[in-house]
Chains A and B, each alone.
Chain A
Amino acid sequence: MNNSYEPRIEPRSGVERILDSSFYWIAKILGWAIAGILVWITIQVGLKAIPAIQTFGLNFFSTSSWNPVNNQYGVWPAIYGTLVSSFIALAISVPIGLGVALFLSEDYMPPSLQRIMVFLVELLAAIPSVVYGLWGIFVLIPFLKGFTPLRGPGMLPAALILSVMILPTIAAIARDSIINVDQGLRQAAVGLGATRWEAILQIILPAASSGIIGGIMLALGRALGETMAVTMLIGNSNTATIDVFKPSNTISSLLANQFAEASGLQVSALMYAALILFLITLVVNVLAQLLVKRLQRI
């Protein structure tokens, strides 16, 4: 009998094998390239910072003058401003973000309306930073001048805009982790006679806490590194003051303002400042990712 209809099963040709394995290796190498970029950033910025690290050492953190004429650099006011602006922003947006997350995860409104509200809150994160800055200069600062001692740019408008910018991060991740809490827990709480808010405060929020804290830390990471809106609103004055109506500075606004015109040791000092900001945000982000990841595993 002639079995010509039966296709023969052949071993894969050499070309196909090479194509197949090179496809795999290209994908693998490019996958690892993503992790490699993080290492590359650290090395590249670190190398350029070495002259400044050698010159200023740890005094860089405690010195508060930034004087390109005398080649005297210190980042204390910038670090101070970065931390203060971020924590003011968190203090405003954490309660509001949690309120949004709860209101948009409970059954207060029909699902279709809820979806639209969630989308609107997410849109806040999509508006470019520089547009927030523009709006802050021409609308927020004149508005705040009307009833506060604010005279122009300062810590307060910068922190307020920051709080608007990080709100969606907190709200979205808190909402995700609240929704992910086992429905059985809520039913048990309600079955024992808890009211809606007793169940929320005593059962749901504690159960969702790791994801919520992770979301807050992600937002903190964003706030620490946020550049354009802060640079446009904070006044860029290299002084550490507790007065929120006075101009101040952050590491990112220092970089944004000085880099284009810097030369010599100033570039290295800016690289040093960038390295500090990079490492701070890296630590905050890694911790945040670990917390949020735990949430996904539940």
Chain B
Amino acid sequence: MIKQTPSTPSGFEAFNLKRNPTSPRTLFGLIMSGIAGLFTLLAVIPLFIILIYLLTKGISSLSPAVFTQLPPPPMLDGGGFGNAIVGTIIMVGIGALISVPIGVMAAIYLSEFNEGKMAESIRFATNVLSGVPSIIVGVFAYSAIVLATKSYSAWAGGFALAILMLPIIVRTTDESLKLVPQEVRQASVGIGANQYQTVLQVVLPAALPAIITGVTLSIARAAGETAPLLFTALFTQYWPNWNNLLVEPTASLAVLVYNFAIVPFQNQQELAWGAAFILVLLVLATSILSRLATAKRTY
């Protein structure tokens, strides 16, 4: 008969499951947890510092006049950025008019006409397009439109913004269409609907809230884009002139922040903070609203 000896495997304390609070393994874990927590704190601190500065400096420089008046010359008090607000609205509007129909139709192709490999490569291209630096999109719009028409214009700026909005719209629309249950499509086809009837009258309305959320997000992003507007729309001290059909330099909030941040004049710097505050408010509001909207599932 073999005698059984109680043996302890190396490295283990036998019959003891107690956690040893001073063992190197426990301490290592505690330290690493502490570092990870510290890093998380470190990551959100810049957000709060920036928001606090925007609140204090931005709000104090805002007044009703800021929204209706033209940018002031250096050292002169008063003035505003009414033309920049109008310019931003015009160019983001042009961007949305180009990118929303194209983006939504492209997303319909991706999710509704499920064509395997083809759809995959277009999704891939969309992701790659969203990684193209915005300055490159600006260079592209400059060479495609400004050089061709020989004029800086709101159209060139809007075109550049459209390219930046496109991947966001395609991706959010694609995802929201995928969330519509397959049974809904089957039911529609079952009662005799064509493909375009199914998509346009059944699937698209069901996904509409999520699509609108995506479009809103892309509009907020586009409003803050500066690099693609620097040499497509340029900037101007004046109101947009409708008689020129928008073929002239156009002001925008984002470029105003840039131009007035790098000048040494206090009055213009204050306006830069005010415009930055408006841009961030727009982005924050749309981010929070879209988060709330997508929290409620539509189907």
Chain A interface (Cβ < 8 Å from any Cβ of B): 12, 16, 19-20, 23-24, 26-28, 30-35, 37-38, 40-41, 44-45, 47-48, 95-97, 99-100, 102-104, 106, 108, 117, 119-124, 126-135, 137-139, 164, 167, 171, 195-198, 200, 218, 221-222, 224-228, 232, 252, 255-256, 259-260, 270-271, 274, 277-278, 281-282, 284-286, 288-289, 293
Contacts and interface: CB of A to CB of B under 8 A. Distances in A.
Contact of A225 (B105, B125, B134, B284): B134
Which bucket holds chain B's interface residue count?
Answer: 35 or more
B122 interface: yes
Given A120-B44, A225-B132, A289-B124, A131 B166 contact: no
Contacts of B140: 40-41, 44-45
A41 B136 contact: yes
B180 interface: no
Given A131-B224, A195-B29, 14 more contacts: A28-B109, A31-B122, A34-B106, A34-B126, A108-B33, A108-B36, A128-B276, A137-B261, A138-B53, A164-B46, A232-B261, A255-B139, A260-B230, A260-B231
Contacts of A195: 25-26, 28-29
Contacts of A38: 125, 128-129, 132
22 contacts: A20-B195, A24-B196, A34-B167, A35-B121, A35-B122, A41-B132, A96-B39, A100-B40, A120-B47, A126-B284, A129-B226, A130-B257, A134-B261, A137-B262, A138-B269, A164-B46, A255-B135, A259-B139, A260-B234, A282-B128, A282-B132, A285-B132
B255 to A, nearest CB: 8
Contacts of A45: 136, 139-140, 143
Given A99-B40, A124-B46, A198-B25, A26 B105 contact: yes
List of 5 A-B pairs having minimum Cβ-Cβ separation, nearest first: A225-B133, A128-B224, A99-B39, A31-B109, A285-B131
Contacts of B247: none
Contacts of A130: 224, 226, 254, 257-258, 261, 276, 279
Nearest to B140: A41
A224 B224 contact: no
B113 interface: yes
Instruction: Determine which residue in B26, B29, B136, B280 has the highest number of CB atoms from chain A within 10 A of its CB, and name it.
Output: B136
A289 to B, nearest CB: 5
Contacts of B106: 27, 30-31, 33-34
A288 B127 CA distance: 10
A123 B47 contact: yes
A226 B133 contact: yes
Contacts of B287: 119, 122-123, 126
Contacts of A97: 43
B231 to A, nearest CB: 4
B225 A34 contact: no
Contacts of B273: 134
Contacts of A103: 33, 36-37, 39-40
Given A44-B140, A134-B257, A259-B230, A197 B46 contact: no
A178 to B, nearest CB: 12
B54 interface: yes
Nearest to B260: A134
Interface string B135-164: 111111011100100000000000000010
Contacts of A30: 101-102, 105-106, 109
B84 interface: no
B90 interface: no
Contacts of B25: 195, 198
Instruction: Determine which residue in B194, B220, B261 has the highest number of CB atoms from chain A within 10 A of its CB, and name it.
Output: B261
Contacts of A289: 124, 127-128, 131
Given A117-B40, A225-B136, A232-B261, A20 B143 contact: no
Contact of A228 (B26, B122, B221, B227): B227
A124 B47 contact: yes
B272 interface: yes
B49 interface: yes
Interface string B163-183: 100110010000000000000
